[in-house]
């Protein structure tokens, strides 16, 4: 009997929570959604989304940043909006103790920032999220052009391609990652699986870039104009121009390498 009294006293207090508020909202605004069991399932799913996208404070350490980005496996499509895209939450290592150690040892703020940007991009990719340079600009309070500049410097210094939505999902007009992929194949003789791993890229995309390069080069050898090539392979003129420039650079480097070997 005493237990029943306590239950009657505390059960209403325990029910004063977010789940009860959601249940009331559903019952009031969507009375035809279903019975109690359906509403309970609906509330549980909403709670899962909240726990996923708004992690509790105890799980986030100082220097970490909760973020929500596009899922790595959800590729873009024509007229596909963010509302139609799968999103995933992630906790990013914005500041770590090693950053302070580097600064204390005399490293420049710019160099440390480059390393921080790279670390955030790599960690996001490992957790199945692809960040954009716009998002990175917001995180680090830099302009889009400045972020791109720092990323390009890091990639050149470390001979790598940092994973981001523009490269992994093949978005935007820039072909920086395509250039590096083609160079690794034609100048370094690496195979698709190795290139894909080194460039944080999908093997199918790697083969697609290489195929475009060979198709454009074949058209070039036949004396076709860039406009005709663009029409024939259904690629933009600007992209064709970039590939033609790349082909000339690779041929020049191959010639220099050949002449150097002959000189020996």
How do residues 124-165 score in pLDDT, each as one tens digit? Answer: 988 988 888 888 998 999 988 899 899 989 988 987 788 888
pLDDT range class, residue 13, cuts 50, 70, 90 = low
Query: Quick one: DSSP state of residue 240?
Result: H
pLDDT range class, residue 14, cuts 50, 70, 90 = low
In this prediction, residue 59 carries a pLDDT of 66
Q: Who has greater pLDDT, 1 or 199?
A: 199
Percent of the chain with pLDDT over 70: 83
In this prediction, residue 49 carries a pLDDT of 83
pLDDT, average across residues 190-201: 77
Rg (CA), the chain: 26
Is the pLDDT at 103 greater than 50? The verdict is: yes
Q: Which residues contact 151 (CB under 8 A, 6 or more apart)?
A: 117, 118, 121, 133, 136, 162, 164
Is the pLDDT at 54 greater than 80? The verdict is: no
The Cα–Cα gap between 91 and 143 comes to 23
Q: Who has greater pLDDT, 12 or 107?
A: 107
In this prediction, residue 119 carries a pLDDT of 96
The structure's pTM equals: 0.60
Is the pLDDT at 115 greater than 50? The verdict is: yes
DSSP one-letter string for 187-214: TT---HHHHHHHTT--HHHHHHHHHHHH
| DSSP-assigned beta bridge partners for residue 89 | 68
Contact call for residues 87 and 67 (beta carbons, < 8 A) = no
The two three-digit tokens of residue 164, written as one number: 């981001």
Q: Who has greater pLDDT, 46 or 196?
A: 46
Is the pLDDT at 241 greater than 80? The verdict is: yes
Is the pLDDT at 234 greater than 80? The verdict is: yes
Angle at 12 between CA 9 and CA 15, to 5 degrees: 140
Please give the biggest Cα pair distance in the chain: 101
Q: What is the mean pLDDT of the chain?
A: 81
Is the pLDDT at 117 greater than 50? The verdict is: yes
pLDDT, average across residues 116-127: 93
The two three-digit tokens of residue 60, written as one number: 């986030």
In this prediction, residue 259 carries a pLDDT of 72
Residue owning tokens 């420039």:
245
* Chain centroid, CA 248 distance in Å: 31
The two three-digit tokens of residue 236, written as one number: 């933009």
pLDDT range class, residue 1, cuts 50, 70, 90 = very low
* Chain centroid, CA 232 distance in Å: 31
Q: Which residues contact 223 (CB under 8 A, 6 or more apart)?
A: none
pLDDT range class, residue 175, cuts 50, 70, 90 = low
Q: In residues, how long is the chain?
A: 264
Burial of 110 (C-beta count, 10 Å sphere; 0-12/13-18/19+)? exposed
Burial of 208 (C-beta count, 10 Å sphere; 0-12/13-18/19+)? middle
Nearest to 150 by CA among 184, 180, 120: 120
């Amino acid at each position: 009997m005493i237990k029943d009294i306590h239950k009657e006293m505390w059960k209403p207090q325990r029910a004063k929570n977010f789940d009860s508020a959601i249940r009331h909202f559903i019952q009031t605004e969507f009375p035809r959604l279903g019975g109690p069991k359906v509403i309970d399932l609906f509330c549980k799913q909403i709670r899962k989304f909240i726990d996923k996208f708004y992690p509790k404070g105890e799980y986030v350490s100082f220097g970490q940043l909760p973020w929500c980005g596009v899922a790595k496996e959800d590729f873009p499509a024509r007229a596909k909006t963010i509302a139609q895209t799968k999103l995933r939450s992630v906790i990013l290592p914005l500041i770590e103790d090693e950053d302070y150690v580097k600064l204390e040892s005399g490293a420049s703020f710019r160099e440390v920032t480059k390393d921080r940007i790279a670390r955030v991009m790599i960690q996001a990719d490992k957790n199945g999220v692809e960040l954009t340079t716009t998002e990175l600009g917001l995180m680090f309070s830099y302009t889009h052009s400045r972020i791109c500049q720092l990323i390009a410097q890091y990639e050149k210094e470390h001979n790598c391609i940092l994973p981001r939505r523009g490269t992994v999902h093949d978005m935007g007009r820039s072909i920086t990652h395509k250039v590096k992929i083609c160079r690794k194949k034609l100048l370094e003789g690496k195979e698709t699986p190795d290139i894909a791993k080194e460039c944080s890229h999908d093997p199918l995309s790697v083969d697609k870039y290489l195929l475009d390069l060979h198709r454009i080069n074949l058209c070039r050898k036949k004396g076709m104009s860039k406009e005709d090539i663009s029409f024939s392979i259904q690629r933009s003129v600007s992209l064709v121009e970039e590939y033609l420039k790349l082909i000339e650079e690779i041929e020049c480097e191959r010639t220099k390498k050949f002449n150097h070997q002959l000189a020996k």
